[in-house]
């Protein structure tokens, strides 16, 4: 890979302060980008105001700075890209790859765990209460992960015609993230295994826009004592509640990079420099158990 041809990113949602699981993703994506002499971008995915926490975006950026995870270029805010998302949604409409859906979640759950394409042939815009779905008659059922290899997804395991714009008028994550990854020319996405099921959908959207999807490398999830993944929505403890060097050391241990015990109390910049010099993504634990 030529110098600076690699572009990675870290894209948290501002639903709360950065927790340890998010730190692991930030550290891994940062080290992967820097080890490839590439750019590391930060994007705040603030397209869902009801789930956002006031001040969380600034808090996340301050935390990244505390860990010496310095990003390139300006921070991107999805909330500033609504016109661009609408433009891309219109392109899909012109390509006859979207349709209007009036089904409620409650009605869908009565029939099946997933939406079954009831409104597929509804081309006329309803008068009210509709979402816009991606017309997906041939869903992608596999993709190659840079760490786990070939991953398969049974057809019955996910919703094929996924939502691009919600009934409340907000753009869905799947559309926004693909448009931004395209516009930022992201070459590899390093993120948690909780987004595995989103990847086939996003690859198909890239194909619909006649663009090459980035490579994907999914990380094992950090689980709490209850066995569930750490989450801002479940009030996972912020990483700022403990010294940054201790948290970074723990993150490298979780990624099985084996930092030497002599660095356990080293300054953050020294520990991060060691991690960059010794970064081995092949040592990251397997994600297969998370599927």
Q: Measure the CA–CA gap between 42 and 11, rounded to whole angstroms.
A: 6
Question: What is the pLDDT at residue 289?
Answer: 46
Question: What is the pLDDT at residue 253?
Answer: 96
What are the structure tokens assigned to 229, written together? Answer: 């993944």
Question: What is the pLDDT at residue 58?
Answer: 96
Q: How many CA within 13 A on the CB side of residue 5?
A: 4
- Helices 198-208, 173-183: crossing angle, 10 deg rounding: 60
What is the mean pLDDT of each successive set of 10 residues along the chain, which is 291 residues long? Answer: 78 93 96 97 96 94 96 97 98 96 82 78 83 92 92 79 94 98 98 93 97 97 66 68 92 96 94 97 79 41
Q: Strand order in 98-101's β-sheet?
A: 98-101, 131-134, 163-165
For each of the domains in the chain, give its residue range(s) and CATH number, in order of start: 7-79+221-290 (3.40.50.620)
pTM: 0.91
């Amino acid at each position: 890979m030529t110098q600076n041809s690699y572009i990675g990113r870290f894209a948290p949602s501002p639903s709360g302060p950065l927790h340890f699981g998010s730190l692991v993703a930030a550290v891994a994506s940062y080290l992967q980008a820097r080890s490839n002499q590439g750019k590391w971008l930060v994007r705040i995915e603030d397209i869902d105001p009801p789930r956002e926490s006031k001040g969380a975006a600034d808090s996340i950026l301050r935390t990244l700075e505390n860990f010496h995870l310095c990003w390139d270029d300006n921070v991107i805010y999805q909330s500033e890209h609504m016109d661009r998302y609408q433009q891309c949604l219109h392109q899909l409409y012109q390509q006859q790859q979207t349709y209007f859906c009036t089904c409620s979640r409650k009605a869908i759950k009565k029939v099946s765990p997933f939406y079954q394409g009831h409104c597929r042939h509804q081309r006329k815009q309803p008068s009210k209460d509709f979402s816009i779905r991606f017309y997906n008659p041939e869903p992608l059922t596999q993709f190659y992960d840079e760490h786990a290899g070939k991953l398969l997804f049974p057809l019955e395991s996910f919703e094929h015609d996924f939502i691009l714009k919600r009934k409340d008028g907000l753009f869905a994550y799947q559309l926004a993230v693909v448009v931004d990854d395209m516009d930022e020319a992201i070459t590899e996405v390093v993120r948690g295994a909780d987004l595995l099921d989103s990847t086939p959908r996003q690859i198909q959207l890239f194909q619909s826009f006649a663009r090459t999807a980035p490579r994907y490398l999914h990380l094992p999830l950090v689980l709490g004592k209850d066995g569930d993944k750490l989450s801002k929505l479940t009030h996972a403890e912020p990483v700022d509640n403990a010294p940054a060097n201790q948290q970074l050391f723990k993150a490298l241990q979780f990624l099985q990079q084996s930092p030497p015990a002599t660095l356990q109390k080293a300054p953050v910049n020294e520990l991060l420099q060691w991690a960059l010099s010794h970064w081995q993504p092949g040592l990251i634990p397997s994600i297969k158990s998370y599927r």
